[in-house]
Structure 1
Amino acid sequence: MIDSLYPREVDFAALDEIRKAALNGLPDDLADFLEGGAGTETTLRANRSAFERRVIRPRPMSGVSAPRTDTTFLGIPLSLPVLTAPFGGDGLFHKDGHLAVARANEAFGTVSIVPEAGTYSFEQVAEAAPKAARIAQLHPFEHFEQGARRIREAGYAALCVTVDCPTAGFRVRNRVNRFDPDMSRFAGNTAGEDTPDVAEMFSRLVAHGAPAWDWTRLAEATAECGLPWIAKGVLTAETAERAIEAGASAVVVSNHGGRQLDPAPASLDALPEVAAAVAGRVPIALDSGVRTGADVFLALALGADVVVLGRLAIYGLAVDGEAGVRRTLELLAEELRTLMILAGVGSLADFRASLVGAR
């Protein structure tokens, strides 16, 4: 006899419940920092609209009852086709920041992209959860080689290079709020000898005319780093091709969560073009706008191998640290598996574009 149709003894029963609790618990200016985008936030809205304009085409009587969600990404095993994003300032949302995120990922069998501008260093996160701290982010700045060496020595398997951030986006909410966060929360990787000062690092992001890298310089730097690298910030076939030519082992279709160029293409709208250009040569990740298991399903069907969670992971972190992120992953996995059963998708290898239609 079933006592209850739905679980009752849980703190959070749905992803949107986690989001609302997170935003309700944050100061207004920090909530705006989390939720806001660049410019008039056209790209921010487009990211959600791109998912909402698409539907999953059901396949009844498929015989699928226990779909598999395990996969690998750059040889890294995953229980779910999900990575968490390299969001900086993580200690603003919870004192344990990416330590908690990585521990949740490790417990669930997923992986963190550990940020350069995080509260904790690459080494600290790797020590806290070595099975999850497998990818680390760098920006193409002059300390790139030194950062890559630290990442390699800390045992990471790959670099994630953010290629769409030569300068910070024009983020109106932060300007209007005169947002002034504790910069130490971004300084976990800038506290050692021969590391850049955090204020100097961020001044480069907002200064126009600062030295900017091109693909040739990035190819030279990554060729010396001794690790495979991922190009994060790809929205066109041309950029995907240039990244692969420069030596990228994977690409992330991303508009930085709507926080950089505005207006820009929605990541999901850009995904088919990028997938066609890549043509299976390297794996593809997608971020920006992902909020549900249905969004993960649509991204996988349209050509992504994995998705990257930014704001969704932060909501979980903000409400309950490691347990909140773990609950977020549990709900995401439960919804994805439900949809795979309803659409007759037995494993990630069975995803294809014909599963998606237009509303």
Structure 2
Amino acid sequence: MLIRKSRRSYPLLNIASLFINRPETCEVRIEPDTAAGGMSFHQCRLCGYVSMSRRGAEGHLAAAHIDEYFAKEESPVEAPSGNFMCVARCGLSGILLGPPNHHSFQEKIRDVHRSRYSHMPIDEYRRHIEMVRDPALIEAWKQEYVKQTRYRLRESSGAPSAGPMKRAEAEAWIAANVADTQIAEVRKAALRADVARTLDDRPLLRSVEEAWNREVKFPRSLLVALRGALVHRYHMHIFRAGKGGYFVCSIRPVPLEPQHAVEAIRDVLTYLRDNPGSTREKMLAALRPGVSEGDPAAKEVLGHLAWLIERGHIIEFFDGTLSVPLGRSEESSPAGSAVPPSGEDAAAKSAQA
């Protein structure tokens, strides 16, 4: 972990932002409102996807995980013949469904509905179908039609070998042989945020998006979870600097009064107490004027500084600024407050824990 390796202190809010920017690292928990009574959800055990209906969960299982049980094969067939004046197109996905006067039209509608929009009543889905009179699209559909996709059970599925299946047959096999073991009925569900933001049930998706947008504005829930995990699982220390900003460090801040230290260390402590937010360069220029960092006198000061940082008597912030710890921390035992690293508060001489 970078925090432990660098021994620097990082803003807790910045760490939370890293998680917000990577939804796959965040967990969303879904549970019904108390007024919902005995409401339950149907959750995919393979990826955590949640649906309000068993049918929706089965549709997801077939659409998202069919490749785990079946291998796809392209099977050429004869080009469709007939007089086609228009072609139907799914207004939601852009998929060409075929001419309404072709025998495959209704089956294609059912396939697309089952694989992508099973959460939606089929009559509602039909309202999203548009008829397009475009010779180029009709020709494109013909080219797609001659390459029929068939599904063959993988050996890893553990099922007896079977011949190639149509999409509907493969989905029926999953519903009959996989759904009972891979779909769980639950009262509460936990799933990755990136999966939660792809849910098909509109009420669930709306609730997830509202909660996510609140966290993007200010990650209150994430901060609470992070503080607990960083302190109790990773044994980090959290302290406040300035006007309420929290920082995380692998070293517990421990105040050391300058008068209790030897002269060389006392000089470093006194300077940083009087000049919070200074950098190593500024400190060296003040304590050893005209001396370069490679000079033995400078190395001696930097050696004392390294010892003080390692012991927690000096805090080195993420931007290289230095400060002395004051007061007590909130999550860890003694000593967690500090003068802030930079900005308007950098001139402050104390901070509240």
Higher alpha-carbon Rg: 2
Q: Which has the higher strand share?
A: 2
TM-score (norm 1): 0.21
Greater relative contact order structure (CA < 8 Å, 6+ sep): 1
